[in-house]
Structure 1
Amino acid sequence: MAAEFGVLGAVEARIDGRSIVLGHARQRCVLGVLLVEAGRPVTVDQLIDRVWGQDAPQRAAGALYSYLSRLRGAVAGAEAAIERQPSGYVLTVDPQTVDLHRFRRLITAARASESDQAATDLITEALALWRGEPFAGLDTPWLDSTRRLLLNERFAAELDRNDVLLRLGRHGELLPALSAAAAEYPLDERLAEQSMLALYRCGRQADADEQYRRIRRGLADELGSDPGTALRRLHERILAADPTLDVPVGDARGPGVQLAAPTTVPAQLPADVRAFTGRTGELAALDRLLAPPDGDEPPLTVALLSGTAGVGKSALAVRWAHRVREAFPDGQLYVNLRGYDAEQPVAVADVLASFLTALGVRGPEIPPGVEERAGRYRSELTGRRMLVLLDNASSVEQVRPLLPGTGSCLVLITSRDSLPGMVAVHGAERVSLDLLPPADAVGLLRRLIGVRVDHEPSVAADLAAACARLPLALRIAAELAAARADVSLAELVAELGDHRLRLDLLDAGGDPRAAVRVVFSWSYQHLPADAARAFRLLGLHPGDSVHVEAVAELTGTDVGEARRLLGVLVRASLIHVGRGGRYGMHDLLRAYAAELATAHDAAPDRKAALTRLFDHYLAGSVAAMDALYPEHAAAAGDPDTARNWIEAERPNLAAACTYGAAHGWYRHAIDLAGTLFRYLDAGGPVAEAVTVTASAVSAARAVGDRAAQARALSDLGRLHRRQGRLDEAAETYRQALALYADLGERAAEAVALRNLGSVHWRLGDYRRAADHYQRAWSHHRQLGDEAGQADALVRLGLVDARLGDEAQATERLQAALELSARLGDRFSEAYALSLLARLSRRPAQLERAALQLEQSLAAVRQAEDRTAEAYVLTDLAAVYARGDRLADAAGHLRRALVLHRRIGDRASEAEALNDLGQVLRAAGDAAEARTQHDQALVLAREIGDRYEQARAHDGIAATDGDGANLELARRIFADLAVPAAPSLGSPASSS
């Protein structure tokens, strides 16, 4: 028999179209919970909490069993069963018979669809499943919070449908609904984008501009923030009457607003806390925050858990986040801000970079500044249902840039401070944590120690009081009691009392944090001397987690001994085991350990410990680089092992660089950054690479090592150029160039000149680019460096060709070819040949160039040099295109684009997009060619490459006969003083 279940409206069940009697409201609530969690177990406690909340009667469990029994009979004929399992009750049912799960499947399919029409049909089908408000007629805190989240899911689906309808050109019919929705949700940036685009396409440019001004004022007044990058960019394009905003041709994903399908689903929550006890009232309060308030829905829900150190804020936040994570299907973001760590608080810019990476933003696309990153972050979260947990915040300023701009997200903050600004300005709902109630404190001890608590109940209460009823202190005391099973609790409590008298740790105000330190010291005093020393030294580690090998170096022991010491500290609850066999430490314990190290370990010993640690990280990095890039090493290890090691240790390596640069380990910071540069430049997070390399610049300045400073500046310039931050790249290269000139390092100066010339090339300043290339060629000639001369000649030839002097270009490229051939440099020879072939078009020249490039391609692939592969593919595609091998050319360019995007070379990506557009147009695929040129135009504008902008306008004009684009192309070509001709390659990247 066909069965259907519904929660997107009243909770209902049908068999063959006939309604099933589900009983009274509480019973329907039980079924509603089970339907939401279909196929997943729900514990009795969770069912009681979700059905009754704080109003649960004393015999709620008995009533629950009765409801479950009746529901079993009611749904028995609907191919569904309610089963009891060890982990709770499970509703076994085909999820696609439940309207909620069918809705989610349809939306997922729509977001994955390659056809806009198919996506529209799927979303329309999904929205048709809604019969009203979810769980209509039922009212409990959990159902209310879930109802709100489901309504947000529906809103996101409606926004998705708007996107595809806009791409299908149905802006006119969509505009009334968009205007009404924008009035209802005045701070939703994605909705504002859609409304502005529809207004613009309907010929109402002024109204679109006014729409932008309204949301900008609203964001400033309500959130103290500016519109995100995407909204600002759309506004600029509207004011410029950007022709790419017109209706895309065909059923293809164009350059407009894209369907908001998260490409990644972050799941960053830490592990749930063992033996979590109590806090039912606080958990219920958090649940109630999800319920919609009276009146209009606010743009964002912010919950603030505040309370003293060690009171269990983080544990409660993580417990609740795990409880509700299914309500945030687009993921959960987490960061420990370490706001009370005087040495290593986490920078907001680094948090934003980390979050953007987790959200699927490629490294090169992460903006440089905090405001720009915050804008991109808000844009990425628009329409996504995500939970953002900001742990250990110290101030409003540390949190504000991390707030989303959309009501589909929820932010949970923990802080020792009450953060009144979050409440006053951002409407945060504060949940204050006090000490555990006496019964819960004893209950936690019971779960951790066992029956001894029941044998000595009054003493257990004294122990809880001695720990100030703080969960962190209770856990440490319980672990010590469990480890000393032969000693009575009374003796332990007496011992703790005596210890308290011996320590001058309590202040006159009775700060509960002082009690935590008493328990810390009590547990610490019972450690063996070697474990106590290891604990102290761990407090010096600059990262969040540590591997046993690093602990061995820090403590000056072998790995076996380090593992034993870590086991002692884990059993004492002074550290915890994290993911991947790594070890972490609560921030209070870290601070306490660091204090102990300062008090008990001489400065030379502390310095020696950190020096050993940094030596370990440097040696590991060198070994990993040798394995990954064996052409520079006498012996190489396993590349996969090396890559895994770097990825696991990357946060610690970055922390070692920044800490070393700030605290006197300058050489380690310089050497570590220099060693890691190639890896981070090729595939690591670019934002992290910038931080590490900037630390090297700072360290080199601190020790007056101008040569190291110049090298680090050159690396930093390369990163800026990769990101398309051309002005910053030019300034950084100029600083490096000045240092090299003062130092008399002519060879390095020549390379810097070439790199600076390439930046000016991208900026369209060809005269200045040629001047730098000419000076580089002179340096190389004076040094007798023929390889450098060949490189400079190729670059000069490219400038000549770009400016229309093909005869001079041919002469220089021929000279470069002869030098490369004499040196046996097959790669440079192949590059020069490809450029000459594009100038001459002679079949023999094309064949020779293709053959040599194909050999180069095989060689770089064997060496797994992805950067070189991308360049060779682009060159080979150009030669194939000249020889009318259009399908081969298109295939090579698509592969090159994949590599450019993976590497993060945005400038080369824009050029390859235009190349692919030209090839596709020649092959007769005008629609796809237009798509490539559109993407090239957006990217070229972002990075400031005016020549590629002109090529894109020219390509768009050629595909659809657009006179406006043709005029724009001609104007830019004229400004650049270059002929309107196809591109002849770009200077190859050099280091």
Structure 2
Amino acid sequence: MTAEFGVLGTVEARIDGRSADLGHARQRCVLGVLLVEAGRPVTVDQLIDRVWGAHVPQRAAGALYSYLSRLRRAVAAAPGVEIRRDPGGYLLTVDPQAVDLHRFRDLMTSARAAESDRVAADLITEALGLWRAEPFAGLDTPWLGAMRRTLLAERFAAELDRNDVLLRLGRHGELLPALSAAVAEHPLDERLAGQAMLALYRCGRQADADEQYRRIRRSLADELGSDPGVALRALHEQILVASPSLDVAVAGGPPATATLVPAQLPADVRAFTGRTGELAALDRLLVAPGGDEPPLTVVLLSGTAGVGKSALAIRWGHRVRDSFPDGQLYVNLRGYDAEQPVAVADALAGFLTALGVRGPEIPPGTDERAGRYRSELTGRRMLVLLDNASSVEQVRPLLPGTGSCLVLVTSRDSLPGMVAVHGAERVNLDLLPLPDALALLRKLIGVRVDAEPAAAEALAAACARLPLALRIAAELAAERADVPLAELVAELGDYRGRLDLLDAGGDPRAEVRAVFSWSYQNLPAAAARVFRLLGLHPGESADVGAVAALTGTAPGEARRLLGVLTRASLVQAGRGGRYGMHDLLRAYAAELAVGQEPEVERRAALDRLFDHCLAAAGDPDSARDWIEAERSNLAAICVYGAAHGWYRHTVELADSLFHHLDAGGPVAEAVTVTAAAVSAASATGDRAAQARSLSQLGRLHRRQGRLHEAAATYRRALDLYAQLSSPAASALVVRNLGSVYWRLGDYREAASHYRQAWELYTDAGDKAGQADALVRLGLVDGRLGDQVRAAERFGSALELYAGLGDRFSEAYVLSLLARLPQHPAGLDRAAAELERSLGAVRRAGDRTAEAYALTDLAAVQARQGRLGEAAAQLRRALVLHQRIGDRASEAEALNDLGQVLCAAGEAAEARVRHGQALELAEEIGDRYETARAHDGLAAASRAAGDLAGARPHVEQARRIYADLRVHQ
């Protein structure tokens, strides 16, 4: 009987492979504490503190004893496992290797002391494989939370160690996608950034490696006010000069001489490109396992049609054939071919002939032939390549009976039986990375790739970076040498046309449609229908719920059928239970849907999908995580719906998305969604929806700094609201139009619109609107030098907000009052209220409001003389504005940061920040921020002793301020 315990995920216990009943959450907390401290006593007080934290019930000790008694019974059957009372407290006796946490730590200790990188890589991979989810998933006490953070840090350190090892092994290509995702999650980690830079450089992407360095340098400056460390700077310098020290070390002597043995491998593929990571993974499989573990005999190379499985297998076979001195056998089983697949008996006959068995000696039956085949291979060191297998049954009789041979199988199917029954090691083959795709095109069509780099990238994307499709497209380009690549890309732009064009002279093995059809024709009918309907989905991926809605099936059935498609490599399973297809497969699936599904069925499928999305997004607060995960798909659905008649769905879905994206999502994506809503509402003549969408679109244009476009959009919305006699809605648009004029520096127009908004809000009895309009008018007064009038308006607004209980807006107005010369006493109150507001918006996940609150808090802290804190807040605000795409606010925050830095004596960085603000403000047409940037550059220049450099900026600032009639 065996026992296994886990905390690296849910707290669990498995005895003889069966889960033990550990009871409710609090009881599992007790076991979690004991497992962390396995072999060490834990006092009663420690247990109570770690299980209940600050909320200890009156009878905690009694409850604890009850939990421990139940846990004893739960693990009583496990050999060598005991929970007992010691003088020092309660102690769990258990083999540390039976607890995933302690096994993880032991494996990492061994890995860091390993004599070779290959051994270290295996040990770290095994250690990380123990993690199922976040530690103590579903449990939450202060102690567990702290321990969770500690363990996640250990895991991150292990991942970084593995990255270093894999980089030393030359597996940079394999590692790069994971590194890119990790860098996005940990943008300030210098060790991780260095690993990504090295991987990019070794993948031939020196410019991208340089940009990665610049990106972390900017992030460190913005977030921490520091520069990269010595090690990262040194690596960057080596990358810039292409230092040979960055190359992967190559070991090994001359190959052994091959003997006269079967050599059936096809010719190596011309212009083979990339796949360094996969080749390294295959190389690693040649290393003999230690201990009593039998040698690996089967490797499964799986991936979608046209991804280059056969080419890679053949390339690797030639690369390692000297490791197989007794020869190489090869057969194309044609498991997905339009012709009849190769019969197993025929494949065995071919192998026996190659092994020297004379025709009369070859047995007649399949089983007898398989037996003779195994006998002939006994004691031989051979490579057997079984290409294009469609099933385990097609492969099993061709497996040797000796560990001295290695079988490499390629298949579009994941063939789980090969792994489960025969212990095969699977290597999954994905699409070519873009640099490798371009390198392949360069080999095939030469200098045209470098002459038209953008078109070459577009061509690679149009071919979904499939080697097969790239080769076919290259043949097209070669035949039409006088046609620019850009024109060829344009012809390939339409999916259906793309499938027609990528037709290599009628060869069924090279024509993409035929290649895909070979996989499709082997599907069960239900799975084939799911594949067809997936081609209708406008987005790039779908979760199980969306697929269930699209196909009209239950989620469980949808998941099962997606599994069938995944095993056939017709869809790819991604993170978070999502499934997608590359472009060519999607085009093929859509073509099948049009050809085989009646229009009414296609329409009904998309109706169900749109209804599903509307229902899921109906409550933006509760659906926040779902919307965030589905953002790009929902945007695509909105655009598709507006273009193809799902107008109501588009308008309602876009409205939900706007509120989510406006709270911190990318502005550019929000523009796409909202513009689709405007189009859909126009198509139905729904003037109210059109006006609302135009108002939202104007706000987005304003945040992007497209001020004149924002003004025009707002005017269109106002015209519609006038027709609808909607003064309340008109008031908001008028107020927002005033803010456009404010940004443009036309304060007379800004004030006029703010006054008009105040009147409309007053007529409507909207006190919050009145307060907001008063604030805007006060800002205009302050900018024009009338501080007394500004204070009066702010005071009136503050009274209105107080009456409404709007503490967030109160905090903002308090900060405005505290910044006026006559109100310094309000600084402490304003800072306290802003800090409270900041916590609230962070809890709500509103990144836009968080950025504004940080900026306001920084202004108050600067007036308090807390310059370091103010600079830190502004750096955080800048990061948020940049992520969101709020360029107007970004320019303002840059100037604010420059002023704070200059006041703190950091003139050099202040000049940099004001320079960035100047460039951005001039680009978007914000004249006031342009003047502030010149003013700041002048101040920073004077602080640095550069009086001559300050003079032109002083003159520019004065000219703009005078033109704006602003008193500084």
The normalised TM-score by structure 2 is 0.51
The C-alpha deviation readout for 1:475-533, integer Å capped at 9, x for no partner, is xxxxxxxxxxxxxxxxxxxxxxxxxxxxxxxx9x9674999878977886776554444
Deviating more after overlay: 416-425 vs 550-559: 416-425
- Return 5+ residue gaps in structure 2 as ranges: 1-115, 120-163, 184-189, 216-225, 230-235, 241-263, 276-302, 317-432, 489-498, 943-949
Q: For the residues of structure 2 that align with 1:958 and 1:581, how far apart are their CA atoms?
A: 55
Q: For the residues of structure 2 that align with 1:422 and 1:975, how far apart are their CA atoms?
A: 59
Q: 1:652 to 1:877 in 2, by over 3 A?
A: closer
Q: 1:923 to 1:513 in 2, by over 3 A?
A: closer
1:782 equivalent in alignment to 2:763: yes
| Corresponding residue for residue 793 of structure 2 | 812
Residue in structure 1 matching 2:960, options 956, 972, 979:
972
Q: For the residues of structure 1 that align with 2:507 and 2:169, how far apart are their CA atoms?
A: 56
1:615 equivalent in alignment to 2:614: no
Q: For the residues of structure 1 that align with 2:896 and 2:726, how far apart are their CA atoms?
A: 38
1:824 equivalent in alignment to 2:811: no
Q: For the residues of structure 2 that align with 1:890 and 1:569, how far apart are their CA atoms?
A: 53
| C-alpha contact (below 8 Å) 2:741/2:750 kept by paired residues | yes
- Return 5+ residue gaps in structure 1 as ranges: 1-37, 42-91, 112-117, 128-145, 164-249, 254-258, 264-276, 289-309, 324-383, 431-471, 473-506, 629-641, 981-991
Q: Structure 2 matches for 1:562-573, cutoff 5 A?
A: 562-570=558-566
| Corresponding residue for residue 470 of structure 2 | 414
Q: For the residues of structure 2 that align with 1:322 and 1:694, how far apart are their CA atoms?
A: 49
Q: Structure 2 matches for 1:478-497, cutoff 5 A?
A: none
| Corresponding residue for residue 34 of structure 2 | none
| Corresponding residue for residue 143 of structure 1 | none
Q: For the residues of structure 1 that align with 2:212 and 2:521, how far apart are their CA atoms?
A: 60
Amino acid at match of 1:970: R
| C-alpha contact (below 8 Å) 1:283/1:320 kept by paired residues | no
Displacement, 1:743?
1.5
Displacement, 1:540?
2.5
Q: 1:978 to 1:388 in 2, by over 3 A?
A: farther
Amino acid at match of 2:952: A
Deviating more after overlay: 593-602 vs 665-674: 593-602
Q: 1:839 to 1:315 in 2, by over 3 A?
A: same
Amino acid at match of 1:824: G
Residue in structure 2 matching 1:765, options 733, 742, 746:
746
| Corresponding residue for residue 606 of structure 1 | 602
Q: Structure 2 matches for 1:106-117, cutoff 5 A?
A: none
- Residue 884 of structure 1: SS of its match in structure 2? coil
Q: 1:828 to 1:584 in 2, by over 3 A?
A: closer
1:546 equivalent in alignment to 2:542: yes
The C-alpha deviation readout for 1:539-574, integer Å capped at 9, x for no partner, is 322333333222221222211222233344455665
Q: For the residues of structure 2 that align with 1:675 and 1:977, how far apart are their CA atoms?
A: 41
Q: For the residues of structure 1 that align with 2:714 and 2:208, how far apart are their CA atoms?
A: 45
| C-alpha contact (below 8 Å) 2:662/2:848 kept by paired residues | no
Amino acid at match of 1:876: L
The C-alpha deviation readout for 1:693-744, integer Å capped at 9, x for no partner, is 2211111111111211222222222222222222222222222222222222
Amino acid at match of 1:968: Q
Q: 1:760 to 1:614 in 2, by over 3 A?
A: same
Deviating more after overlay: 661-670 vs 688-697: 688-697
| Corresponding residue for residue 278 of structure 2 | none
1:627 equivalent in alignment to 2:622: yes
Q: For the residues of structure 1 that align with 2:540 and 2:605, how far apart are their CA atoms?
A: 17
The C-alpha deviation readout for 1:218-271, integer Å capped at 9, x for no partner, is xxxxxxxxxxxxxxxxxxxxxxxxxxxxxxxx9999xxxxx89999xxxxxxxx
Q: For the residues of structure 2 that align with 1:671 and 1:161, how far apart are their CA atoms?
A: 42
Amino acid at match of 1:841: Q
Amino acid at match of 2:271: A
Q: Structure 2 matches for 1:262-301, cutoff 5 A?
A: 281-284=268-271, 286=273
Percentage identity across paired residues of the two chains? 60
Q: 1:698 to 1:932 in 2, by over 3 A?
A: same
- Residue 728 of structure 1: SS of its match in structure 2? helix
| C-alpha contact (below 8 Å) 1:543/1:655 kept by paired residues | yes
| C-alpha contact (below 8 Å) 2:304/2:569 kept by paired residues | no
Amino acid at match of 2:308: A
Residue in structure 2 matching 1:958, options 929, 934, 939:
939
- Residue 742 of structure 1: SS of its match in structure 2? helix
Q: Structure 2 matches for 1:859-938, cutoff 5 A?
A: 859-938=840-919
| C-alpha contact (below 8 Å) 1:914/1:933 kept by paired residues | yes
Displacement, 1:796?
0.9
Q: For the residues of structure 2 that align with 1:580 and 1:573, how far apart are their CA atoms?
A: 18
Q: 1:949 to 1:557 in 2, by over 3 A?
A: same
Q: Structure 2 matches for 1:431-510, cutoff 5 A?
A: none
| Corresponding residue for residue 308 of structure 2 | 315
1:722 equivalent in alignment to 2:715: no
| C-alpha contact (below 8 Å) 1:850/1:879 kept by paired residues | yes
Displacement, 1:867?
2.3
The C-alpha deviation readout for 1:782-820, integer Å capped at 9, x for no partner, is 111111011011101111111122233222222222222
Q: 1:778 to 1:402 in 2, by over 3 A?
A: farther
Amino acid at match of 2:622: A
1:709 equivalent in alignment to 2:679: no
Amino acid at match of 2:797: A
Q: For the residues of structure 2 that align with 1:587 and 1:390, how far apart are their CA atoms?
A: 20
Number of residue-to-residue matches in the alignment: 576
| C-alpha contact (below 8 Å) 1:279/1:316 kept by paired residues | no
- Residue 414 of structure 1: SS of its match in structure 2? helix
The C-alpha deviation readout for 1:858-878, integer Å capped at 9, x for no partner, is 433443433223223322332
Q: For the residues of structure 2 that align with 1:669 and 1:687, how far apart are their CA atoms?
A: 18
- Residue 538 of structure 2: SS of its match in structure 1? coil
- Residue 627 of structure 1: SS of its match in structure 2? coil
Q: 1:580 to 1:152 in 2, by over 3 A?
A: closer
Amino acid at match of 1:419: A
Q: 1:318 to 1:583 in 2, by over 3 A?
A: farther
- Residue 622 of structure 2: SS of its match in structure 1? helix
Displacement, 1:771?
1.6
Q: 1:155 to 1:542 in 2, by over 3 A?
A: closer
Q: 1:877 to 1:532 in 2, by over 3 A?
A: closer
For the aligned residue pairs, the C-alpha RMSD in angstroms reads: 5.4
Q: For the residues of structure 2 that align with 1:814 and 1:540, how far apart are their CA atoms?
A: 57
Amino acid at match of 1:414: L
Q: Structure 2 matches for 1:629-778, cutoff 5 A?
A: 642-643=624-625, 645-778=626-759
Deviating more after overlay: 561-570 vs 955-964: 561-570
Q: Structure 2 matches for 1:27-66, cutoff 5 A?
A: none
Displacement, 1:841?
3.4
Residue in structure 2 matching 1:846, options 807, 816, 827:
827
Q: For the residues of structure 1 that align with 2:510 and 2:204, how far apart are their CA atoms?
A: 44
The C-alpha deviation readout for 1:61-106, integer Å capped at 9, x for no partner, is xxxxxxxxxxxxxxxxxxxxxxxxxxxxxxx9999999x99xx9xx
| C-alpha contact (below 8 Å) 2:888/2:921 kept by paired residues | yes
- Residue 284 of structure 1: SS of its match in structure 2? coil
| C-alpha contact (below 8 Å) 1:841/1:882 kept by paired residues | no
Q: For the residues of structure 2 that align with 1:150 and 1:96, how far apart are their CA atoms?
A: 11
Deviating more after overlay: 964-973 vs 512-521: 512-521
Q: Structure 2 matches for 1:31-430, cutoff 5 A?
A: 281-284=268-271, 286=273, 314-315=307-308, 386-387=435-436, 401=454, 403=456, 414=470, 417=473, 418-419=476-477, 423-424=481-482
Q: For the residues of structure 2 that align with 1:722 and 1:817, how far apart are their CA atoms?
A: 26
Q: 1:95 to 1:543 in 2, by over 3 A?
A: closer
